[in-house]
Structures are given as structure tokens and as C-alpha cells.
Amino acid sequence: MPRKYKSIKEFGDKMNKAAKDASGNVTFNTLFNQGFMNKYSTVETIDQMFENAGIKIESEDDFSALSEETLDSAVRKYTNFGSWEELLNKAGEEYMGEEIKKRLR
């Protein structure tokens, strides 16, 4: 059952706190969880996408060294998105939405 709020201000305050609590460092496996990948890609995991694209990532430095075109090419081949940025933005949007909903209950 949805929670009732006494005022718009109370709801706004709760929403702001929920968004702040939900933000922070998130792992790739959390951000690109299996449900997200099943919904928007032809692979089950983000790791599988990288592996299938011939991209080897063993560290943050490996990921940072990838060109935007390399990432975009893998995203176009294995997902419904046209670029890494689009994929990342959608994953972040869905993650934040779910986390905020959890915190508003």
C-alpha cells in the first residue's frame, strides 16, 4: 500500500532525501543488472557484452583506456541503444527510479 504524505513539502523532502541516499558509487553489475540487460540487450550481462565484443576489461584503467567508438560499437551491436552514453543514462535512470521507490515506501 502506498504511503500517504501530509503535504507536498513532506513528500518533496522525502523525495530529495531518497535521491541523495540512492546516489553514489554503483557497480556495473548493479547498474546493468540482469533484468536491465534482458530488457535492452541480446546478452545477459554487461561482462558478456564486453567479452562478445572482444573487449578485455580487468581494471578501471582498462575501461578508462577504451575509446568512445569502441564502447559505442559494442553498445550498437548488443543493445537497443546507439551509444554508450545512451545505455549508461538509461541504466542510471532506471536504477535511481527503483532506489527512490524503495526509499519512499
C-alpha cell recorded at residue 90: 538509461
CB atoms within 10 A of CB 87: 26
Residue type, 100: I
Please name which of 94, 90, 70, 65 lies closest in space to residue 80, comparing C-alpha atoms. 90
Mean pLDDT over 13-38 rounds to: 76
Q: Check whether 22 has a pLDDT greater than 70.
A: no
Query: For the chain, what is the largest distance between any 2 Cα atoms, rounded to a whole number of angstroms?
Result: 54
Selected residue with higher pLDDT from 42 and 97: 42
Determine the pLDDT at residue 65: 95
pTM: 0.77
